[in-house]
Structure 1
Amino acid sequence: METHGLVSTTDGARLHWTALGDTTRQPAVILLHGGPGLPDYLGDLAPMIADLAPVYRYDQRGTGRSPWQGPHSLTRHTDDLAELLDARNLPGAVLIGHSYGTDLAVRFCLRHPTRVAATLLMCGPFTGDWHTAYRAERLRRMSPAQRDRLRALKELPRRTEDQEAELLTLSWFTDHADPAHGLRQAALAARRRRPVNSSMNRQLNAEALTDPLDDHLTDLRARLPQHAELLGGTEDPRPLAALASLAHRLGLPLTRIEGAGHEPWVERPEVVRGHLRRFVRGVVGR
């Protein structure tokens, strides 16, 4: 059974959460969505493991059903997660993050290592100089007409709802392994994952540049839980080599999902389901 609620944070934000499964069980799994600036989109993952452990999702402040108009910081977002755990009487949890959610997970590990029972990092975090290769691969996957259209949409001073959805579709479809399938999936996501909190995106990305995760890897390796793994799609335009390098530096196993892009559960759902269940079973023993 799915349940919902709101958590009020100490600075006045309200976090909307959703739980699936028996919430009397511990440890719980917390799914951390990416962005930054998007609402939760990990609803397809929760049923894959909810019979093994209760699964919580939440809209990060300023997204979806979690209202917030103030500034954003990485510290505040890790505090939000800690306050959510407190409100649900969870001394610790299994953190499964995707994309930016992996950055949030590891920042939480750095600040609250005793509260992380295990962590699975899906398609992130990316460290080192990976942006150049990522941008080049995105452009390679676009036709000249698509590149021109995306550039034109970005330069518009104002966009209609349809133009905004088109811009997001063209921005996101290259995350998928198959271009035609990617266009369909990105068009659906462009309608469902809105509005995008661009201010949140800019603020958190700017902070990550001034305080890069690369500077904390020694501490992170010491504070990661015993059960920690990385997972990535081989067709993610973000270079899998960057994840492999991070896995080596942290001493973690990396699972490669063949034929999958940045959202591997979309293209290889059963493969991802098997890996999620194996990982969670290894923690909860069910």
Structure 2
Amino acid sequence: MTDGARLGWTALGDRTRQPPVVMLHGGPGLPDDLGDVAAMVADLAPVYRYDQRGTGRSAWQGRHRLARHGDDLAELLDAWEAPEAVLIGHSYGADLASRICMAHPGRVAAMLLMCGPFTGDWHAAYRAERAARMSAAQRQRLRALKETPDRTREQETELLTLAWCTDHADPERGWHRAARDARRRRPVNWAMNRELGGEGQTHPLDEHLAELRACLPARTELLGGADDPRPVSALASLALRLGRPLTRIENAGHEPWSEQPDAVRAHLRRFVRDAVGAPGPGRSTG
């Protein structure tokens, strides 16, 4: 990057085709975890994924700002020789994609917002639903781990498992998925999480929805898991305010591709095919 940061990225598919798909992972402070999602559409368009600065293969010791993270993608598109891209953002990545769209509108050809961004007064409902999906002992243990300074590797894994186990529609499978992810999606950059989370609270996306709606590409959609503990009603409200469609994936939580891969694959392939003009069933390539 122009400020000296080095970002690690991965590409799938034929990189000569335009526009590419770029996937923006969640967090903030977590490494990229969208490999399974990228594989669903890599035959339709080249798919780029990258670890946001400060996570995974993208080491960074400086301060974190939302605008800088948006500029990172613009610089990556330059490096990939892509004038514009189809953005698919998940969770915090959907918030980041929205901010990138406002800062660099000419570079976003289409946008799919998955399980985010959540706007409005949704936190209380999320906390209540999350608590309802945990036992009293689990809630107590999670609070204790959050207050533990200098957590060991085992304690950090336990904390993340407890924090993520409620994100799934199926509680039993959700626990196993959360435990797996807690081992894989590490280390968490908690300083990055605090800095970007704090900036997001100080300058919420809610204050810019009119601006966002004005610069959205024509092909913009939202997708959410019907059983996400974050209220899907908040996504429905945002979709209404933006004038864009929302697709609910039944029997799925915050990572719908892990619980309903066939439904998510079908939706993503239709979206990407329409966004890039890729041929589909019954379409001529001539």
Q: State the TM-score bracket (shorter-chain normalisation).
A: over 0.9
Cα shift readout 1:188-232 (whole Å, capped 9, x = no counterpart): 100100000000010011111111111111111110000000000
The number of equivalent residue pairs is 278
Question: Quick check: 1:68 aligned with 2:60?
Answer: yes
Choose from 241, 244, 262 the match for 2:254. 262
Q: Distance in 1 between matches of 2:223 and 2:91?
A: 11
> Alignment partner of 2:7: what SS?
strand
Matched residues in 2 for 1:21 and 1:119: separation? 19
**2:201 is the counterpart of 1:230:** no
1:168 is the counterpart of 2:195:
no
Of 110, 113, 116, 1:121 maps to 113
- What is the CA–CA distance in structure 2 between the aligned matches of 1:102 and 1:28, rounded to whole Å? 17
Normalising to structure 2: TM-score of the pair? 0.96
Equivalent residue number for residue 20 of structure 2? 28
Counterpart position of 1:143: 135
CA deviations over 1:66-96 (Å, ceiling 9, x no partner): 0100000000000000000011111000000
Runs of 4+ aligned structure 1 residues displaced above 6 Å come to: none
Question: If the length of structure 1 is used for normalisation, what is the TM-score?
Answer: 0.96
| CA drift at 1:155 | 2.2
Aligned mates of 2:14, 2:187 — CA distance in 1: 31
Distance in 1 (CA, whole Å) between partners of 2:70 and 2:199 is: 14
Which sections of structure 1, spanning at least 5 residues, go unmatched?
A: 1-8
1:41 and 2:39 matched: no
Q: Which amino acid is the alignment partner of residue 271 of structure 1?
A: A
Partner of 1:50: 42
Among the aligned pairs, what percent are the same residue? 73
SS of equivalent residue, structure 2 residue 121 = coil
Aligned counterparts of 1:89 and 1:284: Cα–Cα separation in 2: 16
More strand by share: 1
2:100 and 2:184 map into 1 onto residues whose CA distance is 28
Aligned to 2:75: 83
- 1:265, distance to aligned residue in structure 2 (A): 0.2
SS in 2 for 1:44: helix
Distance 1:123 1:171 in 2: 17
Q: Does 1:193 align with 2:185?
A: yes
Superimposed CA distance per residue, residues 157-205 of structure 1 (whole angstroms, 9 cap, x where no aligned partner): 2321111100100000100011111110000100100000000010011
Gap runs ≥5 in structure 2? 279-286
